[in-house]
């Protein structure tokens, strides 16, 4: 049964005790006398049932209504955010719109701060928190504005909401009395905690005794969080707020992006294959070339450099050298790549360091570069320019000027 109401009291006025009992008209079913357990109103016949609450799948959205709707009195089975109907009010009531006079800043900015606070409280869960009424799907509505008397209640209350112990109704309607919160000096962030508290009741969360818990019965001028604590009134039972919220709003755990295993010298067909960020390099690219002898396209991952390159444990060391006039990290000939034999289309060449403006001394290293490509055709549209890097490696005639092809075609004519 869902005929349970949860209330939140303001600690700033704790001398104003709640009455011993309150009566809520359930619209034709019957009037239940409510036992006040802390600040939670529980129908006496159902008190034990509250402690067995386990929660259930919640609404797809949470709508914070700051604009003062007319709330229609209806039976508890007709409690409905889609029609602004509630069994909690005594009669049809016009709830005042949110009044920002208690806080600094414009009304819009205060609402935005409160809204963001609630979003922060529910950030880990798969639910939309909005101040715009959804046009489709189920949603819980919390009306933010006014005082308890505006819906026919008395007492030192900050909020009231259905305790939907199995989340039977995905369209619950609850109330948070922002005028009362403002009069008691609650900052917008702390008001957001009160809203989150009432929202949690609508998906089956009970009160807990843990200090600093959003579900503690009395609000506070402090930062709160979801936690694990004993249920108020029954220390033998423990509530895990997060576990119940994950039932209400199933969290779709993101599938982590696969960690790239590409590194300098890894075979590639395009730059998309050269994510080197796992090694702290954010400018990976694919150096590709066409081998006329084998009529095949080859390539390996590289990145721009000036003077030095980043090495990764377990991978062949890399060396910064000039490739087509710019500094590029290329794999050094080493045991890891079988002296370049493991990198298709390459062979070892002695190359000088690309110093650039690094101020480092020129050193030499054996590196893996395209086989017979020491003189390469730097691509430029459909044609490129032959770049003489190590002329002695070209056994045939060298193309001069433009050379054919969009790739770094070898400039040696057999």
Same-domain status, 85 and 223: yes
Q: Which domain holds residue 307?
A: 271-371
Residue of 30 and 361 predicted with greater confidence: 361
pLDDT digits (tens, 9 = 90+) for 175-205: 999 999 999 999 999 999 999 999 998 888 8
pLDDT digits (tens, 9 = 90+) for 203-225: 888 899 999 999 998 888 899 99
Q: Give domain status of residue 260, yes or no.
A: no
CA 309 – CA 303 distance, rounded (Å): 9
Q: Give domain status of residue 397, yes or no.
A: no
Question: CB neighbours (10 Å) of residue 30?
Answer: 9
Same-domain status, 292 and 324: yes
Same-domain status, 291 and 203: no
Same-domain status, 26 and 117: yes
Same-domain status, 157 and 284: no
Q: Give domain status of residue 20, yes or no.
A: yes
CA 289 – CA 297 distance, rounded (Å): 6
The per-residue pLDDT of the chain, averaged, comes to: 77
Question: Residue for token digits 């007319």?
Answer: 70
Question: Residue for token digits 């089956």?
Answer: 204
pLDDT digits (tens, 9 = 90+) for 255-307: 665 667 899 999 987 778 899 988 888 888 888 776 656 667 788 999 999 99
Indicate the pLDDT class of residue 37, thresholds 50, 70 and 90.
very low
The proportion of the chain whose per-residue pLDDT surpasses 70, expressed as a percent, equals 71
Same-domain status, 66 and 182: yes
Indicate the pLDDT class of residue 380, thresholds 50, 70 and 90.
very low
Residue 257: the pLDDT is 59
CATH code of the domain covering residue 81: 3.40.390
Same-domain status, 190 and 296: no
Q: Give domain status of residue 343, yes or no.
A: yes
Q: Give domain status of residue 336, yes or no.
A: yes
- State the total domains in the chain: 2
pLDDT greater than 60 at residue 8: no
Q: Give domain status of residue 376, yes or no.
A: no
What is the number of residues in the chain? 414
Q: Give domain status of residue 253, yes or no.
A: no
Same-domain status, 114 and 202: yes
Pairing of strands 228-231, 234-240: antiparallel
Same-domain status, 231 and 296: no
Helix, strand, coil tally for the chain in percent (to 5): 15, 35, 50
Same-domain status, 14 and 125: yes
Same-domain status, 278 and 229: no
């Amino acid at each position: 049964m869902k005929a349970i109401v949860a209330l939140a009291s303001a600690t700033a006025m704790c001398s104003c005790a709640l009455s011993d009992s309150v009566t809520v008209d359930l619209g034709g079913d019957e009037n239940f006398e409510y036992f006040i357990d802390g600040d939670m109103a529980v129908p006496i016949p159902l008190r034990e049932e509250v402690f067995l609450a386990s929660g259930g799948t919640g609404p797809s959205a949470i709508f914070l209504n700051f604009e003062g709707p007319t709330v229609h009195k209806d039976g508890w089975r007709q409690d409905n955010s889609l029609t602004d109907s509630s069994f909690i009010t005594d009669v049809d009531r016009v709830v005042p719109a949110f009044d920002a006079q208690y806080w600094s800043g414009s009304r819009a900015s205060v609402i935005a701060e409160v809204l963001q606070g609630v979003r922060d409280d529910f950030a880990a869960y798969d639910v939309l928190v909005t101040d715009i009424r959804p046009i489709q799907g189920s949603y819980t509505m919390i009306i933010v504005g006014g005082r308890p008397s505006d819906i026919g209640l008395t007492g030192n209350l900050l909020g009231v909401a259905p305790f939907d112990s199995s989340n039977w109704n995905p369209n619950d309607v609850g109330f948070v009395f922002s005028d009362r919160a403002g009069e008691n000096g609650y900052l917008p962030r702390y008001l957001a905690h009160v809203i989150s508290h009432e929202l949690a009741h609508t998906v089956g969360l009970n009160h807990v005794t843990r200090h600093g818990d959003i579900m503690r019965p009395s609000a506070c001028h402090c930062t709160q969080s979801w936690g694990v604590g004993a249920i108020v009134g029954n220390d033998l039972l423990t509530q895990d707020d997060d576990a119940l919220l994950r039932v209400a709003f199933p969290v779709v755990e993101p599938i982590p992006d696969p960690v790239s295993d590409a590194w300098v010298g890894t075979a590639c067909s395009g730059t998309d294959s050269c994510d080197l960020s796992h090694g702290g390099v954010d400018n990976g690219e694919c150096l590709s070339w066409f081998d006329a002898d084998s009529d095949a396209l080859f390539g390996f991952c590289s990145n721009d450099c000036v003077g030095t390159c980043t090495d990764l444990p377990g991978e062949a060391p890399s060396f910064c050298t000039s490739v087509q006039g710019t500094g590029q990290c290329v794999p050094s000939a080493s045991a890891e790549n079988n002296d370049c034999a493991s990198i298709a289309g390459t062979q070892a060449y002695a190359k000088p360091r690309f110093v650039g403006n690094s101020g480092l001394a020129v050193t030499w290293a054996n590196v893996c570069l395209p086989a017979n490509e020491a003189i390469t055709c730097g691509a430029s549209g459909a044609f490129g320019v032959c770049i003489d890097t190590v002329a002695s490696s070209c056994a045939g005639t060298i193309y001069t000027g433009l050379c054919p092809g969009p790739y770094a075609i070898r400039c040696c004519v057999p």
